[in-house]
Amino acid sequence: MTFGERLTALRKESGYSTRKSFAEKLNIPETTLRNYETNDREAGHTFLKQMSVLFNVSCDYLLGLTDEREKYSSYPLKASEYDHIQKYRFISKHSPDGAAVVDTILDREYSIAERLTGQTGQMQNTDTEASEEFIPTRIMSYYQKLASAGKGEYLFDGVPTDLIEVIATETAAEADFVIGVNGHSMEPTYYNGEKVFVKKMSEISTGEIGIFIKGDQCYIKELGTDRLISHNADKKAYPDIPAGEDIALVGKVLGKVEAQAVLS
C-alpha cells in the first residue's frame, strides 16, 4: 500500500469519515490532506512523526514498507529491554517453537502479575484475605515418564519436552526440570506415574536419590556404595544395578511434584 492509502485507511479506522473533519483536527487545509491521501504531495518527516504518534504505528508502516503495525513507543527503552526485544526477534526467526514457549511463559507471568496487582489493590481497599485466594506457580520443562523405576527407559539426546505448571515452592525454585516416574522399582518411595523435581548435579551423596543414565537408558535410583539401589522389596523383579563407569549422573531428585498442570 502507498502512504496515501495507509493514511486514508487509518483516518477512517479512527472515526474520521471525512477529510474535512480530520483536516480540522490536524489544523491543516483540507486540500493538503487530500494531496497526501492521493499521493499528489509527499508528506514531510514532521507530518509522518505526527501520524505515527496519533495512530500508534511505525513510520515504516505508514510508508508501506511493512505490514506490521509496530507500535510507536512514546517512552525510551532501557538497554536491557531492547536486548530482550532483539533476542526475541532472533528466536522468532530461527526457532519458532522457542518463540511459542517464550509467549506461553510471558502470557502466564503477565496474568500472574495482573492478579497480584489486583490482589494488592483489594488488600489496600478492603480487609479481606485476598492473599489466600492466589497461589503463585512456576512453569518448568517436563520430561514425561523417562525416569525408569523398572527395567529402564530410553533417554534420547534432544528429546522433546512439555511445559508443566507447578506450585512455586522452594523445591520448585531449586529444581531445573521435572521428570515422570515409569515403573515400580522405587516403591514405596516413588510410584509409577508420579513426577519428581530434579536439580542438575555432577555428584550426589551415598543414600540420595538421583536420575542416572546407563548406556541409552534412564533410571531413578538411590545411590549406593557400589550399586544403584531399587526400593521395591521384590529384588528378583527389580534388582539393583551394579556400579560401573558407564553410569552417569543427570541430577539429584529433590522430591515429588504434588500439584501440577501440563501445558500443551
**Predicted local confidence at residue 67, as pLDDT:** 84
What's the average pLDDT block by block, 10 residues per block, for the chain (264 residues)? 92 92 92 94 90 88 84 63 82 84 80 68 53 69 70 55 83 90 92 92 94 87 95 93 91 86 54
Report phi then psi at 229, rounded to 5: -100, 130
Phi, psi angles (nearest 5°) of residue 144: -80, 120
Q: Tell me what pLDDT residue 211 has.
A: 93
Q: State the helix-helix crossing angle for 3-13 and 45-55, rounded to 10 degrees.
A: 30
The cell for 242 is 551394579
Q: What's the pTM value of the predicted model, to 2 decimals? A: 0.51
